[in-house]
Structure 1
Amino acid sequence: MYSLEELKKSQGVALYNHAKTLIPGGTQLLSKRPEMFAPEVWPAYYEKAKGCRVWDLDGREFIDMSIMAVGACILGYADDEVDDAVVAALRNGVNSSLNCPEEVQLAEALMALHPWFGMVRYARSGGEAMGLAVRIARAHTRRDTVLFSGYHGWNDWYLAANLADGKGLDGQLMPGLEPNGVPRGLAGTAIPFDANSIESLRDKVKGQENKIAAIIIEPARGEDAPAGYLKDLRELASEIGAVLLFDEITSGFRMCAGGIHRNYGVHPDIAVFAKSMANGYAMSAVLGTEKVMQAAQTTFISSTNWTDRVGPAAALATLKKYQRESVDQHLIATGNRVKDIWRRAAAASGLEVGVTGLPSLAAFAFKARHPMGMNTRFTIEMLQEGFLGFRQFKPSFAHGAAELDQYETAVTKVFAELASDLECTVLDTPKHHAGFQRLTKE
């Protein structure tokens, strides 16, 4: 469909090379760097996005079977219903000296889904919402130390884990994160523990129970939480007087409306949402019990841009459509079908592939001598077939049967081609990056 040479010569590749001379790291988000997919080939920029399709700067059309705006556009790109609500908000004024009523309406809608919470504060991105949530937890407990498992963003409180041990975060999804610029005095204030291991957590807690402000986890990301684990966390947090904080930035709205913790019946003291809650518009929320959230008034948490009308309007429209259309069921069915496509294509080609993840956060991995080379070549071959293809897939409501049929045909073809070149001798471009790496030499 598209030749490798024309992909290499695309306007997007050229613009990205120029961007790296103007923007440190080339992009605002590590997960959108072309080096994470296929260096020197990934189109990098889009002219238009609609449904589950993206058009690059050269007008080439791709079906997005990859990260779908890093999971943000859960209904699909440029959803008419959400966009219409945003346009109406724009025409009535994005901001003013008064507050928009949509933020109260959104609070009521979120509480209806999570009646164990009593209050909410808003921000506009996941990272700042996590910073806000940790501040509230520390203000409530009057303690400093946080214990965490999983990936929780770019803030000082999180990267402080790498001050005492430069590899402290390597087991928490994103290896190689440098704490440069984080005050050395924060060393020891953020301590990682092994995911899904209550024993690992108890070892970290022992002897400093009265210092721990919060226990922070992603309740589920790659797989469902083990039976009893979240309940044990809830009991331990209550026992030592720490705030139990669930980071639902990725898991929220993927398997049900609201937080995935609804499916487990375990209620944290705080839950943080972003990404999917507003279908790509900037919006995040920190929900918590009234007792804990009132601590926000004992510290200073405030921002002009947290009062804009667009985010709440988009979130209300997204939630309305999500619930009316039972979007969670569509996401689960779509993700399960894609996982089956990977398994069938692997079996047909003789490739060894491991398929993992919740259906709405699906992933696969090549079990080969050169997995990074295989990943890179898979992405390149899928681009040539007209797909943004990746080893992860985040389904949206816009992914339909026709797109999945086309995807299955392409994956079956590409897997067969990969099986015939397990040494990746055909790959003549750099391999993708697996984590944070500098893009220029010092």
Structure 2
Amino acid sequence: MKIKNGISLYKYAKTIIPGGTTLFSKRSELHLPNKWPAYFNKAKKINVWDLKGNKYLDMFCAVGTSILGYNNERINKSVLKNINKGNMTTLNCPEEVLLAKQIIKHHPWASMAKFTRGGGEANALAIRIARSNTKKKNVAFCGYHGWHDWYLSANINSKKNLDQHLMSGLNYDGIPENLKNTSFPFPYNDFPYLLKLIQKKNIGVIKMEVMRNIKPLDCYLQKVREICDQKKIILIFDECTSGYRQNMGGIHLKFKVSPDMAIFGKALGSGYAINAIIGKNKIMSKAENTFISSSFWGERIGYTAALSSIKEFKRLKVFKKIESNGKFIKSIWLDLSKKYNIPIKVMGTDAIPSFEFCSNHAQRKTFLTQEMLKNKILATNLIYVTIFHNQDNIKKYIRVLDKVFFNISKKKIKNILKSKLCFKPIKRIN
């Protein structure tokens, strides 16, 4: 078939791929409906070229998977070297063992590891192992943890259960009704709510994101750890997004609270598919009592990319750079908010900063993306910061953003919008 551009290809894709694309977060409707370029031809550092050869500055960056920038030469070199030696054989690749040793080294509380390619399956695997360790099978969760039945079944009780964790009014088609009353959401920083849930619902596993948009208050994480110890509940920290982004390992290390299991992904492979599940020996060893396996969990590429990435994190002092770049971006947003008297709420860690307009958010966000795209910038209200998002190379972003805030302050945005409003994205309760 002849491809004219990304927009027309996306329209065609929706006729043969449900939703148009396998990854929900890359649907054009989330950014700029009927205008988003949708597909790329090549990428380097924080630049992306679309199918027509247009070059964009990427201020969103692959849903957080490319902390070392796109098409990183050192990572690619390591991967290609091993591809040339063979990716999949009857025997196992030694890199699996080497990566397990390396990640456990970063987390003294853990002693065993398993691996997957995607974050959703890593979360499902962790739940299976945790449930293998307790007679209390019910799960309490806080945050976004993938697409599997155990998680989406929370909406069988009420279609509002996942409103603040994933998205509003989410259907649970295809989920067995007998999973009702097995998974229960709880709000972040509300320890009394969690305590009542534990008492009423016979909770055996707690899974939560450590931190996303707001910081833990009043020793919240410590209290969760203590109640898990008291009630013999298995605590899982989902760090698919936050892990290996602000420090070497999980962000829970900064708060000095250790879980029983933890999950890492996205940044770990610098653009290559790899997720890690680590935990205490007595818990992880129960994986032998159930069947957990997948052919492509054994491919060599992900392990090689992760090992190479960890070396680069050390060599480049990545986490200091990420923190500095993120703080700089937050300061820009706050300065423009004050300059044009447009109230915004700045949130998130320095590694994943975001903001919300305090009024007309969807309309203003859509306008922001529209104006950025006109100037060959891929941008929304959220940035997964990379080592290349620094003061020198985002001057163009700053100039355009200044004009965006100016126009919002002076004009009726609905009169100059060329697109339908963007869909609501996945929510991050914490």
Q: Does the aligned pair in 2 maintain the 1:63–1:403 contact within 8 Å?
A: no
**Aligned-partner Cα distance in 2 for 1:145–1:174:** 22
The TM-score, its normalising length taken from structure 2, stands at: 0.96
Aligned to 1:23: 17
* Structure 2 residues not aligned, in runs of 5+: none
**Aligned-partner Cα distance in 2 for 1:264–1:173:** 25
Aligned to 1:159: 152
Q: Which amino acid aligns with 1:141?
A: T
Q: How much has 1:195 moved relative to structure 2?
A: 1.1
Q: How much has 1:338 moved relative to structure 2?
A: 0.7
Match of 2:378 among 377, 384, 388: 388
Matched position secondary structure for 1:130: helix
Aligned to 1:272: 263
**Aligned-partner Cα distance in 1 for 2:35–2:4:** 8
Q: Does the aligned pair in 2 maintain the 1:156–1:182 contact within 8 Å?
A: yes
Matched position secondary structure for 2:205: strand
Report the CA distance shift for 1:207/1:416 in structure 2 as closer, same or farther (over 3 A): closer
Kindly provide the CA deviation profile for residues 111-139 of structure 1, in whole angstroms up to 9, marking residues without a partner as x: 11101100001111100000000000000
Q: Does the aligned pair in 1 maintain the 2:352–2:383 contact within 8 Å?
A: yes
Aligned to 1:35: 29
**Aligned-partner Cα distance in 1 for 2:169–2:45:** 34
Q: Does the aligned pair in 2 maintain the 1:176–1:435 contact within 8 Å?
A: no
> Given the alignment of the two structures, is residue 307 of structure 1 paired with residue 307 of structure 2, yes or no?
no
Matched position secondary structure for 1:215: strand
**Aligned-partner Cα distance in 2 for 1:335–1:228:** 25
Q: How much has 1:326 moved relative to structure 2?
A: 1.4
Q: Aligned runs of 1:18-417 on 2, under 5 Å?
A: 18-66=12-60, 68-208=61-201, 211-368=202-359, 370-417=360-407
Report the CA distance shift for 1:108/1:147 in structure 2 as closer, same or farther (over 3 A): same
Matched position secondary structure for 1:401: coil
| C-alpha RMSD over aligned residues | 1.4
Q: Does the aligned pair in 1 maintain the 2:14–2:20 contact within 8 Å?
A: yes
Number of residues paired by the alignment? 424
Q: Does the aligned pair in 2 maintain the 1:334–1:399 contact within 8 Å?
A: yes
Q: Does the aligned pair in 1 maintain the 2:112–2:281 contact within 8 Å?
A: yes
**Aligned-partner Cα distance in 1 for 2:388–2:200:** 51
Q: How much has 1:324 moved relative to structure 2?
A: 1.9
Matched position secondary structure for 1:392: coil
Q: How much has 1:144 moved relative to structure 2?
A: 1.4
Q: Does the aligned pair in 2 maintain the 1:270–1:287 contact within 8 Å?
A: yes
Q: Which amino acid aligns with 1:298?
A: N
Q: Which amino acid aligns with 1:266?
A: V
Kindly provide the CA deviation profile for residues 238-282 of structure 1, in whole angstroms up to 9, marking residues without a partner as x: 111111000001111121111000101100000011111001111
**Aligned-partner Cα distance in 2 for 1:189–1:424:** 44
Aligned to 2:7: 13
Q: How much has 1:23 moved relative to structure 2?
A: 0.4
